[in-house]
Chains A and B, each alone.
Chain A
Amino acid sequence: MPAFSQLILTALLAVTAENLLFAGGAGFSRALRAARKPSTAGLYALLVTLFSLVSALTGLALEPYLSLLGEEWILRPAVLTAAAGLEYLLAAGLLRVFAPSFLRDHGRILEQAAANTVVLAIPYVQQMFGFHALQALGYALGTGAAFWLAVLILSHAMKICTNPDAPRAFSGLPGVLVYVGILSMAFAGFTGGKVF
């Protein structure tokens, strides 16, 4: 299959059947926060995409060494989380030097995009599905798109769930969680159940 088609196909899978957010349940804490300010959705999703790409590349680069380590589920997560911390530090450090106003204005979005379950899950998904480099990059791109779509949908969901007829106990977050549950049910129709 041509390389570009592989990239697009994996990106599409990341938005549909292998959607980390709706089919996997990852990253919703951040998506809900982002949905409270829909005007920042685009920037947030872009940063998630960039960090997802970096996370994918880090996972690929470290994979040969991680597979040599024993105790896979003890050492691998620690190494990948530390790598994520260093990636954020590098990004924030570079912005501090070259674009301090961007860091001042959007530092919160940057840190939440970096320390995002969706971003940190990319290397594990890579390993789970046996993605090679191009597929991993496609998946990272698709995840960013899925995050953007989730933020847009959730921003509308928040308005729907705070209508005057909704029971007070369900107004706001509880209603949004039920909304997300029903939407997640729809994505489960692709897979028939649990994916990740």
Chain B
Amino acid sequence: MKLSNASPPFLHTDVTVMSMLGDRIFALCALLVIPTVRYGPRPLVMAGLSVLICLVCELLTGLMRKEGVPVTEWSFAVTGLVITMLMPVNAPLWLPCAACLFAELAAKAPFGGFGRTPFNPAAAGVAFATLCWPKQMFSYVDPAEPQWLPVWGECSVHTAQSAAAYLKSGLKPDILPFDMLWGDMAGPLGTGAALVIGACALLLFVRRAAHAETTLCFLAAAAALAALFPRIACSPLTSVKYELLSGSLFFCSVFLMDPVSSLHTAAGRCIYGAAAGGLLMAFRHFGAYEQGAVFAVLIANALSPLISSAVGRARGWEGSVYG
């Protein structure tokens, strides 16, 4: 069977593109609650600005191609919100805007927009921001001094090292894994509250807006490598807890494994998820930055057509489901 004219995501009949995107937006908005309570309206302003930039870019590229933007096409909002979640709350406001511009204009528009992007646009935008402004990307507010941050303008705050930075240096983080569940630690805006992310993941799986097998295989591969090759002197179980709860691993396993750049067979999705998890741990061990999830996702995106071809050949299809 060849599906050469259709574009992803390929959804079950009772799920539409609009409902899938709507569920993701709802889940991402839920992740904004705790940071807003803790730091004031700044996270909301960052999210709003990011979404606005993405919308303006969509409209501009639509105008240049003499096409409109469909009302059901809310992927720009997902991109903007994901980018916001991966930024520090004290990041200058131009930083998520720059990431959004890159995501829309370099990772999305040249390939034909939603459904045709070979790479996750949000991952590409955050990767670009990480390479160009690493100091701003890894400077986090010290949670020991809770305060409302200024809505606009620079944040002159005490900063602290994230748990991921401790692990990168080979040190045990100064926080217990149990305390990491609520996100009360230095790190990106929306990736710390593991319990909330878990609840969002369940919602997306039940509503079929995300593939559970991709996320589970991602986490399983990361956990296995964390247990086998711990970065700190501790038991395998402690290593697994710290690795899964630090950085943006858990968040990326749910929100960056999107149906567009993912595969369309369960076996393919499992391999894809495992590959992404393995790559992430490779970046954590050997990469230059404390957070390497977005880079791992980009490489996994590039490998997904190869995985799809291999799965198709193993099943006796002519190379690939696509033409």
> When A and B assemble into the complex, do they touch directly, with CB atoms less than 8 Å apart?
yes
Chain A residues with CB under 8 Å of chain B are 16-17, 152-153, 156-157, 159-161, 163-167, 170, 174-175, 178-179, 181-183, 185-193
Our pick among B7, B64, B130, B305 for the contact of A189 (Cβ within 8 Å) is: B130
Q: Which residues of A contact B302 (CB under 8 A)?
A: 153, 157, 183, 186
A166 and B119: CB pair below 8 A? Answer: no
Our pick among A167, A186, A193 for the contact of B299 (Cβ within 8 Å) is: A186
Q: Tell me the complex Cα distance, A186–B115, Å.
A: 21
**Contact A190-B286, Cβ < 8 Å, known A153-B302, A153-B306, A185-B131:** yes
Given contacts A160-B305, A189-B288, 16 further A-B contacts (CB under 8 A): A16-B282, A156-B305, A165-B115, A166-B111, A167-B64, A170-B110, A175-B110, A182-B127, A185-B298, A188-B131, A189-B130, A189-B295, A190-B287, A191-B288, A192-B131, A192-B134
Our pick among A16, A17, A166, A183 for the contact of B298 (Cβ within 8 Å) is: A183
Q: Tell me the complex Cα distance, A161–B111, Å.
A: 6
6 interchain residue pairs of minimum CB distance: A192-B288, A189-B295, A165-B112, A186-B298, A156-B305, A170-B110
Q: Which residues of B contact A175 (CB under 8 A)?
A: 110-111
Q: Tell me the complex Cα distance, A163–B306, Å.
A: 18
Label chain A's interface by main secondary structure: helix
Q: Tell me the complex Cα distance, A185–B31, Å.
A: 28
A182 and B112: CB pair below 8 A? Answer: no
Residue on B nearest A186 in the bound complex, by CB: B298
Query: Is B39 an interface position by the 8 A CB rule?
Result: no
Q: Tell me the complex Cα distance, A183–B119, Å.
A: 9
Q: Tell me the complex Cα distance, A156–B288, Å.
A: 28
Q: Which residues of A contact B288 (CB under 8 A)?
A: 189-193
Our pick among B112, B294, B298 for the contact of A163 (Cβ within 8 Å) is: B112
A163 and B124: CB pair below 8 A? Answer: no
Q: Tell me the complex Cα distance, A191–B295, Å.
A: 11
A165 and B286: CB pair below 8 A? Answer: no
Interface members, chain B 274-323 (any A CB < 8 Å): 282-283, 286-289, 292, 294-296, 298-299, 302-303, 305-306, 309, 322-323
| Size category of the binding interface on chain B | 35 or more
Our pick among B113, B116, B128, B283 for the contact of A185 (Cβ within 8 Å) is: B128
B127 and A160: CB pair below 8 A? Answer: no
Query: Is B48 an interface position by the 8 A CB rule?
Result: no
Our pick among A160, A161, A170, A189 for the contact of B283 (Cβ within 8 Å) is: A189
Query: Is B22 an interface position by the 8 A CB rule?
Result: no
Our pick among A166, A187, A192 for the contact of B110 (Cβ within 8 Å) is: A166
Q: Which residues of A contact B110 (CB under 8 A)?
A: 166-167, 170, 174-175, 178
Q: Which residues of B contact A182 (CB under 8 A)?
A: 106-107, 119, 124, 127, 298
Our pick among A165, A178, A186 for the contact of B116 (Cβ within 8 Å) is: A165
B289 and A192: CB pair below 8 A? Answer: yes
Q: Which residues of A contact B286 (CB under 8 A)?
A: 16-17, 190
User: Would you give the 0/1 interface string for B261-283, flagging 1 where the beta carbon is closer than 8 Å to chain A?
Assistant: 00000000000000000000011
What are some 22 contacts across the A-B interface (CB < 8 A)?
A153-B303, A157-B302, A159-B322, A160-B111, A165-B112, A166-B112, A167-B64, A178-B106, A178-B111, A179-B118, A182-B106, A182-B119, A182-B124, A182-B127, A183-B119, A183-B302, A185-B131, A186-B302, A189-B288, A189-B295, A190-B283, A192-B289
